[in-house]
Structure 1
Amino acid sequence: MHVKFCGFTQLSDIQTAAQLGADAVGLVFYPPSPRAVTIAQAQTLSAAVPAFVSVVALVVNMPKDELINLANNVSFDIIQFHGDETPEQCQQLAGMVNKRWIKALRINTEQDTLDSVRAQINQFATAGASSILLDAYHQHKYGGTGARFDWSLIPHDSALPIVLAGGLDADNVAATLDLPIYGVDVSGGIEVDKGKKDAAKMRAFMKAVKRDRWQNATVTGAI
């Protein structure tokens, strides 16, 4: 189980996440978000990330010129498209800045089906996505709602590795152990306030993930 902590605005929080063993840290470049950072802030934050920890740039319907400017000024490894971008748009935009990318799908429990989720994933896989992120749908928000969707809509035969987001915290992340996912993505569940992380919550989250990781490995005979 890989772990991405997202929505950082504070240098000390980035340092804590790295010390705790997070696999990736996310920076939000969407001005309406309370977790958004400027290019200047992002430069400071990304510079504190050690080797082998990925920096993910979360963007929402970002114009081409802005993405190019972002890539020219901030060191990041992966683009997380979190808006209404089509598979073709993601492929073209990521290609312009030579970055790997993932796409966030907002799952509407009332409208989506297992087949429709699988079909969407297939489209982004064909376009070259490295992974897919599944989050809860909200009519007026592109993410960060802290809500969960119906996990039975997660396909077992996904064409892409799945990262699960939405309403996760140290108390419920153990419930993801049996899901067909590659990783988890958490933001609000490790915060004391939007954009301000809680070291104790981050530590508890990582402890829960690592404990379940080793228990599962023993059961499956992986070690």
Structure 2
Amino acid sequence: MSTRVKICGLTRVEDVESAVESGADALGLVFYAPSPRSVSIAQAEVLARHVPAFVSVVGLFVNPTEGEVREVLDRVPLDLLQFHGDESAEFCGQFGRRWIKAIRVRQKDQIQAAFNEYRQASGILVDAWDPERYGGTGQSFNWDLIPSDRPMPLILAGGLTSDNVFRAVEQVKPWAVDVSGGVERSKGVKDIEKISDFINEVRRVCKTD
């Protein structure tokens, strides 16, 4: 089965269009002000208008209030919510929308614990641990910590680039991969060639299987 690709941290219309043209399955919009890739609700409305049918729009939140999430949902047509902070399963599941939960991995039992705690999620995203940042670190982690027995889809993030994503998909066999900094010229500004190369490398794994 083909591994899906999410391009995250989009801030410009031209980058949205490039990601779509290159074959991205999902596009991530960051609603977390401290992030250099953060967008306002008004910006997100514009970006979402350039996403065609059958490409998912994902809203990324880090420890938001209920009101903040609902304000975004009132104005931006999100297909999926991504919670990247310390949110509880109860918080994540209250919005009547499919959602995924990100965890920052330090040890193997964290991933199994997340499968148990966030049973109603549509997937678990595994990212590199950083004591000060909730994702977007540009760092990978030890993929051997990822269990092969998974009760729900697993999304791999953390330091992925066109140079290592073939190996990542071949080894981990994730449901999807999530990339942001690995396809950028600068923070929040994507590079069309890097996006295309990244997606082509993911697709190449499927051709060799």
Q: 1:101 aligns with which of 85, 99, 105?
A: 99
Amino acid at match of 1:61: N
Q: 1:26 aligns with which of 28, 31, 36?
A: 28
Aligned-partner SS, 1:160: coil
Cα distance, 1:180 vs structure 2: 3.6
Deviations 1:44-102 (A, max 9, x none): 0001001000000000111011111110011110000001101222122x3xxx21000
* Whole-angstrom distance in 2 between the partners of 1:116 and 1:198: 33
* Whole-angstrom distance in 2 between the partners of 1:199 and 1:7: 14
Cα distance, 1:116 vs structure 2: 3.4
Q: 2:154 aligns with which of 148, 157, 162?
A: 162
Q: 1:195 aligns with which of 188, 192, 197?
A: 188
* Whole-angstrom distance in 2 between the partners of 1:61 and 1:140: 14
State how many pairs are aligned. Answer: 206
Amino acid at match of 2:114: Q
Cα distance, 1:165 vs structure 2: 0.2
Cα distance, 1:28 vs structure 2: 0.1
Give the match for residue 110 of structure 2: 116
Amino acid at match of 2:172: L
- The 5-angstrom pairing of residues 178-193 of structure 1 reads 178-193=171-186
The alignment-based identity, stated in percent, is: 48
* Whole-angstrom distance in 2 between the partners of 1:45 and 1:129: 26
How large is the Cα RMSD of the aligned pairs? Answer: 0.9
* Whole-angstrom distance in 2 between the partners of 1:153 and 1:17: 30
- Conserved 8 A contact 2:127-2:141: yes
Cα distance, 1:178 vs structure 2: 2.7
Aligned-partner SS, 2:172: coil
- Conserved 8 A contact 2:114-2:124: no
Whether 1:132 aligns to 2:124 is: yes
Unmatched tracts of structure 1, length 5 or more:
217-223
Give the match for residue 214 of structure 1: 207
Aligned-partner SS, 1:116: helix
Give the match for residue 78 of structure 1: 80
Give the match for residue 219 of structure 1: none
Rg larger in structure? 1
Give the match for residue 166 of structure 2: 174
* Whole-angstrom distance in 2 between the partners of 1:149 and 1:157: 19
Amino acid at match of 2:175: Y
- Conserved 8 A contact 1:163-1:185: yes
| Cα separation, partners in 2 of 1:116 and 1:144, compared to 1, 3 Å | closer
Amino acid at match of 2:145: L
Give the match for residue 221 of structure 1: none
- Conserved 8 A contact 1:136-1:166: yes
* Whole-angstrom distance in 2 between the partners of 1:78 and 1:91: 11
